[in-house]
């Protein structure tokens, strides 16, 4: 019953609509946090002749990636890593909410990309209702709730979250500070966390409509950004 803008799944939109328009033939791409699930599949990688580097803090996750998904891998912490400014494109999906110091991650992005390189980010906002609950609930309790309601998420969810400066406005500020300009942005107002219980779902939707009327951009549940390095 809500307008379409309240129904778009940000995670899926980032993968299917947002990222593909920026994939250029022959590009060198770094998939930050790709681990066992790289964003670019082997078919697209081959068709566009992309050189893809898998970047993850866990070597175990990188080792689980499909064969030939990556041409190279880097096992490192994105907050301490510094690159050689030779990548055309960087993709970072559902990673930065787990980083304690997001500013250091932005510094790493700038060090990885060449001038005019592009960083594509998808991030849950710290203002989202599910993010607030995530930060308030004790770690063990929220894991029990999450895996009881969504048992299929075991192994893919439940990592510690910090949501450090994870809002559209603060990301734009960090981008400018580290030499990026905002090329494209999409804001999303949907998620699946409250679908399991109708009264809670309705309450969340009402709250979101009111919040959006008051805070506009900052009310987004999740958001995508394309940042161009100057």
**What CATH number corresponds to the domain at position 42?**
3.40.50.150
Q: Please, which residues bridge with residue 92 across strands?
A: 32, 121
Quickly tell me which residue has 């992005």 as its tokens: 109
Domain contains 134:
no
Domain contains 97:
yes
pTM for the full model? Answer: 0.88
pLDDT, mean of residues 78-87? 97
pLDDT-derived band at 24, boundaries 50, 70, 90: very high
Domain contains 203:
no
pLDDT in tens, 153-173: 555 555 788 999 999 999 999
Domain contains 201:
no
Say if CB 144 and CB 153 are below 8 A apart: no
Lowest-confidence segment of 71-85, 110-124, 131-145 by average pLDDT: 131-145
End-to-end CA distance of the chain: 42
DSSP string over 39-108: SS-HHHHHHHT-EEEEEES-HHHHHTSPTTS-SEEEE--TTT----S-EEEEEEES-GGG-S-HHHHHHH
Domain span at residue 16?
Answer: 4-125+162-192+221-229
3-state secondary structure of 34: coil
């Amino acid at each position: 019953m809500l307008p379409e803008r309240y129904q778009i799944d940000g995670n899926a939109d980032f993968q299917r609509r947002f990222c593909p328009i920026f994939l250029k033939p022959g590009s060198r791409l770094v998939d930050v946090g790709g681990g066992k699930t790289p964003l670019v599949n082997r078919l697209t990688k081959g068709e566009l002749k992309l050189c893809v580097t898998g970047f993850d803090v866990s070597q175990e996750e990188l080792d689980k990636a499909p064969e030939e998904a990556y041409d190279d891998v880097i096992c490192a912490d994105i907050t301490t890593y510094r690159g050689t400014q030779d990548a055309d494109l960087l993709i970072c999906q559902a990673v930065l909410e787990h980083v304690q110091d997001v500013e250091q991650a932005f510094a790493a992005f700038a060090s990885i990309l060449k001038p005019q390189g592009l960083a594509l980010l998808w991030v849950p906002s710290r203002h989202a209702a599910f993010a607030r609950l995530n930060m308030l609930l004790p770690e063990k309790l929220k894991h029990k709730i999450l895996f009881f309601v969504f048992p299929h998420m075991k192994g893919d969810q439940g990592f510690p979250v910090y949501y450090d400066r994870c809002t559209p406005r603060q990301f734009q500020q960090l981008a400018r500070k580290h030499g990026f300009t905002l090329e494209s942005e999409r804001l999303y107002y949907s998620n699946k966390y409250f679908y399991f219980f109708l009264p809670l779902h309705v309450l969340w939707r009402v709250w979101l409509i009111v919040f959006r009327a008051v805070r506009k951009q900052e009310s987004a549940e999740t958001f995508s950004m394309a940042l161009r390095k100057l």
